[in-house]
Amino acid sequence: MHNKTIAELAAGLRDKEFSSRELTTHFLARIGQYNPALNCFITVTEELALQQAEAADARIAAGKAGPLTGVPIVQKDIFCTKGVRTSCGSKMLDNFIAPYDATVVERLGRAGTVMLGKANMDEFAMGSSNETSFYGIVRNPWDTNAVPGGSSGGSAAAIAARLTPGATGTDTGGSIRQPAAFCGITGLKPTYGLVSRYGMIAFASSLDQGGPMARSAEDCALLLQEMAGFDEKDSTSVKRTVPDYRAGLNERLAGLRIGLPEEFFDEALDSEIARTIEAAIAEYEKLGAEVKKISLANMRLSVPVYYVVAPAECSSNLARYDGVRFGYRCQNPKDVHDLFMRSRGEGFGAEVKRRILIGTYVLSAGYYDAYYLQAQKIRRLISEDFKQAFEQVDVILGPTAPSVAFGFGEKTSDPIAMYLSDIYTIGVNLAGLPAMSIPVGFSSNRPVGMQLIGNYFKEAQLLNIAHRYQQVTDWHRRVPANFM
């Protein structure tokens, strides 16, 4: 059962080949068996999952099943789940039981999905390797000596190891796409504003976007269908009709104009990854697509711009963790200042503190113009580059990350090297565009991810392009040897 896609599982449930309870029990058993080695979960919600599975079975029996009724999924622990610990990977929220559901959780719950648990992640989504989690590292199912990527590392690894057919992720600078690439799965970062951020714990509000992670584009389409759409609780969510994401999956790609940005294929890119991507491009050419070289001239500035904008927003977003109302509080504070200082000092990890410090600095009087304002200007230039590119091509294609999954501790001592692992993904967040990562092969036995970037609200087209590729290749169906 665990090798079936969401689409296949939903069909099996509807046809009563198996019950949601059986399916849920099966995945819970796999989690029990494999999670100790991988550490994909911060919380496994076994009891709740079985309750939800039984409710789903009742709906299926009553003929009231929707497309996802009874399908187990995992929520990244950044999404608030009512009555369940929502830690965001941090000691700060280790004791935080959310009193409400995030809109994404509510919508997926209404669609009938069963929540198996809460996925491990980098602390407050700040990290590219899942090494900053208070709950420990997550291991990559393809090579347990390698990181799963981050920050949605728990979600990606759990899907790759067949501990869940799908999961939610969030992507602020590549946090869905890069772990999807490292774990050989499919992930979609939607257009900013498509998926509600309400109840999704904020890291950098103008960049954060939740999205689906699964094994195939079709499964991502199924999940996105439920996640997407206007939410009056999120002022930045966009009011527009959500298309049927599955309807166009099989559209032909003849005449599709694919842009290859020269900046994505420079000397920083691992040569084996480059060859793998070129093979994927060849598949697209066989499907009738035209390939064109383009340029995104300001792309090289995306990492520095990101590391001004994201920390600035995070320094403010994380100010609420002060030990006063919820979350970690230090022992015996001697006054309110001490309460603030020690609760934050003891509750946050090093990477979070680093970003809060950077953010506080760039917003300070006398530095705001030079950093924050300047970064916003360059951000507009980066968006402008994409806009011009989309006048020439329909989709932009390139590697998701400059390397495959790296080893534990390889980059933790060098934050800049770690930050550069998001060099191909960050620009997309700065511009607010949708993008996907799909598996296209292996390098040194570790998965290689390919990124597809679409124009605003072109998720359906991205899914179509990814799905057509997955119809003619089987990289997305590969299973890591120890998790068959």
Residues labelled as active-site residues: 76, 151, 175
Q: Give the integer Cα–Cα distance in Å for 393 and 291.
A: 9
Residue 469 in the binding site for another protein (CB under 8 A):
no
Show Cβ contacts of residue 207 under 8 Å, excluding neighbours closer than 6 positions.
172, 173, 192, 306, 309, 310, 313, 429, 430
DSSP symbols for 279-297? HHHHHHHHTT-EEEEE--G
Find the part of the chain contacting another protein (CB under 8 A) among 91-99, 173-181, 283-291, 400-408.
91-99
Q: How many Cβ atoms from other residues are within 10 Å of residue 342's Cβ?
A: 18
How near is the Cβ of 299 to another protein at its closest, in Å?
22
Q: Which is nearer to another protein, 376 or 471 (CB)?
A: 376
Q: How many Cβ atoms from other residues are within 10 Å of residue 412's Cβ?
A: 16
Out of 25, 51, 144, 206, which residue is the one contacting another protein (CB under 8 A)?
206
Residue 209 in the binding site for another protein (CB under 8 A):
no
How near is the Cβ of 31 to another protein at its closest, in Å?
25
Out of 49, 80, 294, 393, which residue is the one contacting another protein (CB under 8 A)?
80
Out of 41, 79, 284, 306, which residue is the one contacting another protein (CB under 8 A)?
79
Residue 9 in the binding site for another protein (CB under 8 A):
no
Out of 25, 51, 144, 205, which residue is the one contacting another protein (CB under 8 A)?
205
Buried b (16+ CB within 10 A) or exposed e, 132-143: bbbbebbbbbbb
What is the bridge-based pairing of β-strands 435-443 and 257-261? unpaired
How near is the Cβ of 96 to another protein at its closest, in Å?
7
Q: How many residues line the site for another protein (CB under 8 A)?
A: 44
How near is the Cβ of 117 to another protein at its closest, in Å?
18
Dihedral sign (CA 421, 425, 429, 435)? negative
Q: Which is nearer to another protein, 88 or 249 (CB)?
A: 88
Q: Which is nearer to another protein, 65 or 362 (CB)?
A: 362
Cα-only R_g, the chain: 21
From residue 309, how far is each of 55, 204, 375 by CA, in Å?
44, 8, 7
Residue 203 in the binding site for another protein (CB under 8 A):
no
- Region of 382 please: left (phi>0), alpha (psi -120 to 50) or beta: alpha
Residue 381 in the binding site for another protein (CB under 8 A):
no
Q: Give the integer Cα–Cα distance in Å for 114 and 71.
A: 6
Out of 62, 254, 365, 481, which residue is the one contacting another protein (CB under 8 A)?
365
Out of 25, 295, 360, 374, which residue is the one contacting another protein (CB under 8 A)?
360
Contact 214, 164 (CB under 8 A): no
DSSP symbols for 53-103? HHHHHHHHHTT---TTTT-EEEEETTB-BTTBB--TT-GGGTT-B-SS--H
Out of 34, 96, 348, 406, which residue is the one contacting another protein (CB under 8 A)?
96
How near is the Cβ of 404 to another protein at its closest, in Å?
33
Residue 449 DSSP class: E
Show Cβ contacts of residue 2 under 8 Å, excluding neighbours closer than 6 positions.
26, 27, 30, 162, 163, 165
Residue 324 in the binding site for another protein (CB under 8 A):
yes
What torsion do the CA atoms of 427, 431, 434, 440 make, to the nearest 10 degrees? Answer: -10
How near is the Cβ of 234 to another protein at its closest, in Å?
5
Contact 409, 437 (CB under 8 A): no
Site for another protein in 222-261 (CB under 8 A): 232-236
Residue 41 in the binding site for another protein (CB under 8 A):
no
Site for another protein in 172-201 (CB under 8 A): 197-201
Residue 371 in the binding site for another protein (CB under 8 A):
no
Residue 372 in the binding site for another protein (CB under 8 A):
yes
Which stretches of the chain bind another protein, using CB under 8 A? Answer: 79-80, 86, 88, 93, 96, 98-100, 102, 197-202, 204-206, 232-236, 312-313, 315-316, 318-320, 322, 324-327, 336, 340, 360, 363-365, 368, 372
